[in-house]
Structure 1
Amino acid sequence: MIATGLVRQIGDLSARDLAVAGGKGANLGELMRAGFPVPDGFVITTEAFRVAARAADVDAADAKSAPQRMRSVAVPRDVADAIRDGYRARGGGRVAVRSSATAEDLPEASFAGQQDTILNVEGDEALLDAVRECWASLWTERAVAYRASHDIDPRDLALAVVVQRMVDARAAGVLFTADPVTGRRRRASIDAVSGLADKLVSGAANPEHYVVDTPSLAISDRGGTLLDDRRLRQLAQLGDQVEAHFGKPQDIEWAIDDSKLWLVQSRDITTLYPLPAGLPDPDKDLRVMLSANVAQGVFQPFTPMGLQTFRLLGAGFAKHFASRPPADM
């Protein structure tokens, strides 16, 4: 019997379960419930993390001692039993173990790659060790620095762990449903590597790059032969469906085994410049959007006082130059 407070099936979760399953787990549950192809698995909840952190006497604000304590103290018995039950209920075998923090995959901060993912884990004890590593990765140097830059208090965080059946990937990679460089919407940008996507995420392999125009499914850029036209169009269509479900452009991790395309993660793209409402169809009337404050090195939104100041300055410049007579030719 699975202890539901400590372990939840992915298919029982939804986007509303961020506090229980973290960003990755909640999004995977949402995808599975919506009928998208997501490998089966379960989530070790944030409650299990809190039980383990209390048992290890972890101070979340102490980034030096916290990971050491999480690794060195045995997983509490009730938590370990729930994890073993969840693993055995799915027949054991090889699994992917992925961190899922409560501040991860948020609209304003993705935390992509900040916590650990451990692949090809097999056996009860190996799984428990991998879970401890994921818990400890909440305090990696990168994660701590990223939280500090976004003013996120570590004491407000918890970390769930996603355990999924391992996909024997022939190819894997990342799909952006909007161009992450130009910001062009409905332009599928696909990076692919042979085998598992960890080579791509770590930078150990150079990916093949493809671009698909989503409305027409025309392939405008082909950077290799790993994916044929049918797979590229399938990826673009599936990405478009995921974007429509979440209502925002998505950063999707995918994997293809011998017969099927799987989605193993989806998050909002947090680096796109927001578009104003009412823009025309870019295929009929393409617009170029510029951000003056970013060009000036101001990366936060203007305050009302700042906005009024720039309006007054702009009006003054316009009045000055508009009132000057044209130079004699």
Structure 2
Amino acid sequence: MEKRSDYVLWFEECDLSSIPLVGGKNASLGELLKAQIPVPPGFAVTTKAYNLFLEQGGIKKDIFKLLDGIKANDMDSGEAASKTIRSLIENTEVCDDLQDYIGEFYRRLSKRCNVPAVPAAVRSSATAEDLPGASFAGQQDTFLWIRGMDGILTHVKKCWSSLFTSRAIYYRAKMGFPHEAVEISVGVQKMANAWVAGVMFTLNPATGDRATVAIDANWGFGESVVSGECTPDNFLVNKITDEVIRKTVSHKTILYTREPVSHSVIKQTVPAERSDIQCV
């Protein structure tokens, strides 16, 4: 095995120069920390770890052989290849050395948070999420409220396999983007038990105005906003004056939260008394 930093890195060790190793999402989390913006702690399982897993598992050639027959105008071929590849990845054992690295960092993360088997978000971070003329963002999976080493390893593999969803395969074929040119890292990050969550754009996505921050928010975890399952409250805020320029309070029907007994994420109906009031 090579040195530890080839396979696992704390977010504090990541920055934009690390994108080939940790992907866009993990690199951005590292940049936020360097800017002293509060970010829940965590670590990145690198693209080198992903490649080592494929090579030591003996499945790399099989995967790319299955992808050779994909046609940009044939979604059915992509669907069949996706099912086979994802099953192959999720049923292949992670080698002992990688298990040790990931396990040690998860134990350190739990100790750092003072929570045994700390609940974590296991997040995909691809190396090609936003490029000129193509956007790969949102094509890979994220899993919330994962606890224990077995759960972390299982969902790291699920994130790796999500590089080969039928949608991702079809999009790369359509854009003429080589499948082998995209690699994936995985972030393991302390779960925020959010009462309200959402997405903030540091410019107005509709106009490109850099003086405006756009915020979409809903009750519970941010999954309902990111997935588009709800119509969130929307706010436009002027960066210079901190003035709320526009506010739209929506009728919010669903939320994601933690089930207290099973410690799993569940979808619930928003209580009637909260469905039409401002969440932030």
Distance in 2 (CA, whole Å) between partners of 1:126 and 1:28 is 23
1:44: which partner in 2?
A: 45
Q: Which stretch has the larger CA shift, 29-38 or 193-202?
A: 29-38
- Does structure 2 conserve the Cα–Cα contact (< 8 Å) formed by 1:23 and 1:106? no
2:138: which partner in 1?
A: 113
Deviation at 1:36, TM superposition (A): 1.6
2:263: which partner in 1?
A: none
RMSD: 2.0
1:18 is the counterpart of 2:19:
yes
2:118: which partner in 1?
A: 93
Distance in 1 (CA, whole Å) between partners of 2:181 and 2:44 is 20
Q: Which stretch has the larger CA shift, 20-29 or 57-66?
A: 57-66
- Taking only the aligned residue pairs, the percentage that are identical comes to 37
SS of the counterpart of 2:128? Answer: coil
2:85: which partner in 1?
A: 66
Structure 1's unaligned 5+ residue stretches are 226-329
Change (3 A) 1:178 1:33: closer
TM-score (structure 2 length as normaliser)? 0.75
Distance in 1 (CA, whole Å) between partners of 2:107 and 2:15 is 23
Deviation at 1:22, TM superposition (A): 0.9
Deviation at 1:168, TM superposition (A): 1.0
1:197 is the counterpart of 2:222:
yes
1:158: which partner in 2?
A: 183
Change (3 A) 1:25 1:223: same
Change (3 A) 1:61 1:108: farther
1:80 is the counterpart of 2:105:
no
Q: Higher Cα Rg: structure 1 or 2?
A: 1
1:47-76 deviations in Å (ceiling 9; x for gaps): 110011121413236351322211111111
SS of the counterpart of 2:216? Answer: strand
Amino acid at match of 1:45: T
Distance in 2 (CA, whole Å) between partners of 1:34 and 1:217 is 20
Alignment of 1:129-148 (within 5 A): 129-148=154-173
Change (3 A) 1:187 1:78: same
Distance in 2 (CA, whole Å) between partners of 1:109 and 1:197 is 25
- Does structure 2 conserve the Cα–Cα contact (< 8 Å) formed by 1:99 and 1:115? yes
- Does structure 2 conserve the Cα–Cα contact (< 8 Å) formed by 1:104 and 1:110? yes
Q: Which stretch has the larger CA shift, 203-212 or 16-25?
A: 203-212
1:114-169 deviations in Å (ceiling 9; x for gaps): 00000000001011110010000001122122323433211122111000011111
Deviation at 1:106, TM superposition (A): 4.0
2:28: which partner in 1?
A: 27
Deviation at 1:3, TM superposition (A): 2.7
Alignment of 1:161-310 (within 5 A): 161-224=186-249
- Does structure 2 conserve the Cα–Cα contact (< 8 Å) formed by 1:61 and 1:155? no
SS of the counterpart of 2:237? Answer: strand
Change (3 A) 1:42 1:222: same
SS of the counterpart of 2:40? Answer: coil
Deviation at 1:189, TM superposition (A): 1.5
Deviation at 1:109, TM superposition (A): 3.8
Paired residues, number: 225
TM-score (structure 1 length as normaliser)? 0.64
Deviation at 1:100, TM superposition (A): 0.7
Structure 2's unaligned 5+ residue stretches are 68-80, 111-116, 251-280
1:258-282 deviations in Å (ceiling 9; x for gaps): xxxxxxxxxxxxxxxxxxxxxxxxx
1:123: which partner in 2?
A: 148
Distance in 2 (CA, whole Å) between partners of 1:218 and 1:212 is 6
- Does structure 2 conserve the Cα–Cα contact (< 8 Å) formed by 1:96 and 1:117? yes
Q: Which stretch has the larger CA shift, 174-183 or 77-86?
A: 174-183
Distance in 1 (CA, whole Å) between partners of 2:99 and 2:8 is 10
Deviation at 1:172, TM superposition (A): 0.9
1:8 is the counterpart of 2:9:
yes
Distance in 2 (CA, whole Å) between partners of 1:151 and 1:36 is 37
